[in-house]
Amino acid sequence: MENSILIAAFYKFVPLPDCRELRQRLLERCLATAVRGTILLAPEGINATIAGERPSVEAVVSYLRDDPRLADLMVKESFHDSIPFGRMKVRLKREIVALKAPGVDPAKCVGDYIEPKDWNRHIVQDDVLLIDARNNYEVRMGSFPGARNPGTDSFHEIARYLADELDPNEHQRVAMFCTGGIRCEKATAFLLDRGFKEVCHLRGGILNYLEKIKPDESLWQGECFVFDERVSLDHGLQKGCIRICDDCKSVVKVTDEECLQCGSVNFL
């Protein structure tokens, strides 16, 4: 059946000192329900994208919500005609999203959330500095007009960019966005720790915006990269038509037989 597979993305910054013990129980639960995807666990929280039949995915989410620390776990849903993951992985990490900036704790301090319906009128204000918190190959697929690209290849590189290029006295209003919101949780917390006063980010990230905002009202340009076999999504969270060169990470259109940048025919 078309689009019968539920893809659930969720994260939460919350102390999980027992993440090592949680890992095996969670992996067993996922395998028992035939769910596939990736779940990252760290002392600072959980970050996951899983896929399967709705009853199976909901069983895993329900299992997690039985833990009082995860009872309010928010899940972003999208759909596909097959499971876009080859297997189920539950991994232990130092961070659920690696900024490598000790002391930054989004569970204690994070930027203000801007709802998708309010995002357009916020980012067009002249005194708002808009920053795309994603990596270069993601930005090349699509972004909001006027957004600064930090030029990173890995997320942790954004810490140096924010420290070197932004000044809390000069940049008094900063807005950030990323795919699902998790990277902005870390990045806005980093800015607040450095003395920035008015820092905000798009609630639920680009995916929430593409789901909630109609195409004729949208400021988004292009498609949004996702970390699974779908590669990119468009408005309504429908599978896009862009691929990524597996060799040089350039954007490749479905009509291209080879990468225009390096000539490779290996695409993601």
Residue 156: C-alpha distances to residues 151, 166, 219 (Å): 12, 16, 27
In SS3 terms, 91-136 reads as EECCCCCCCCCCCCCCCCCCCEEECHHHHHHHHCCCCCEEEECCCH
Q: How many angstroms separate the CA atoms of 162 and 157, rounded?
A: 9
Q: Which of 125, 152, 119, 128 is nearest to 220 (CA)?
A: 119
> 3-state class of 249 per DSSP?
coil
Number of H helices, E strands in the chain: 7, 15
- Of the candidates 41, 24, 27, the residue with the CA atom closest to the CA atom of residue 92: 41
Distance CA 185, CA 136 (A): 19
- State yes or no: is 178 an active-site residue: yes
Contact 16, 64 (CB under 8 A): no
Partnered with residue 89 across adjacent β-strands are 38
- One-letter amino acid at 81 equals D
- Catalytic residue, chosen from 178, 184, 224, 245, is 178
Residues designated as active site: 178
